[in-house]
Amino acid sequence: MRILLVEDNLEISEVITVYCGFRKDIDCKVVNTGKDGLEKIRNDKYDLILLDLAMPEFSGIDVIQSLTKDQLVEENIVIFTASSDPATQEQLKNTGVKEVFRKPFSLEQLRELIEKYRPVS
């Protein structure tokens, strides 16, 4: 399984990277800026994209808007956010984002999320 994590919080990135590192069947790439994430999404194929909503300079919303213009939102994109704004969450789901995953999260919640998007072989 190929996962792309676009997250500027290094602690969250490390937790997810370590978790995925224990799983031999998961290849997890991490980028820490929205612009780097957009480039990876445009150039590579992932089974799951975990996209932080609130990043400086180029946010998760900016990434989604760029992907919408490129008609690439059919990817399995899950938004990571600590925000509880229902209007923003609904707006994102209307763009093709699969779901909104709330921070903080447990490792069990992370496992369930990853398994939900695991490709069927």
pLDDT tens sequence across 37-72? 999 999 999 999 999 999 999 999 899 999 888 876
Both tokens assigned to 95: 């763009």
Count of domains observed in the chain? 1
Assign 36 a pLDDT band (cuts: 50, 70, 90).
very high
Task: Decide if 121 is inside a domain.
Answer: no
The answer to whether residue 74 scores a pLDDT higher than 80 is no
Place of tokens 């300079």: 57
Read off the pTM.
0.92
Pairing mode of beta strands 77-81, 99-102? parallel
Helix axes 34-43, 60-70, angle to 10 degrees: 30
Which domain CATH number covers 17?
3.40.50.2300
Give the per-residue SS3 of the chain: CEEEEECCCHHHHHHHHHHHHCCCCCEEEEECCHHHHHHHHHHCCCCEEEEECCCCCCCHHHHHHHHHHHCCCCCCEEEEECCCCHHHHHHHHCCCCCEEEECCCCHHHHHHHHHHCCCCC
Q: Which domain holds residue 49?
A: 2-116
The answer to whether residue 87 scores a pLDDT higher than 90 is no
pLDDT tens sequence across 91-120? 777 888 898 898 899 999 999 999 999 998
Task: Decide if 77 is inside a domain.
Answer: yes
Task: Decide if 38 is inside a domain.
Answer: yes
The answer to whether residue 85 scores a pLDDT higher than 80 is no
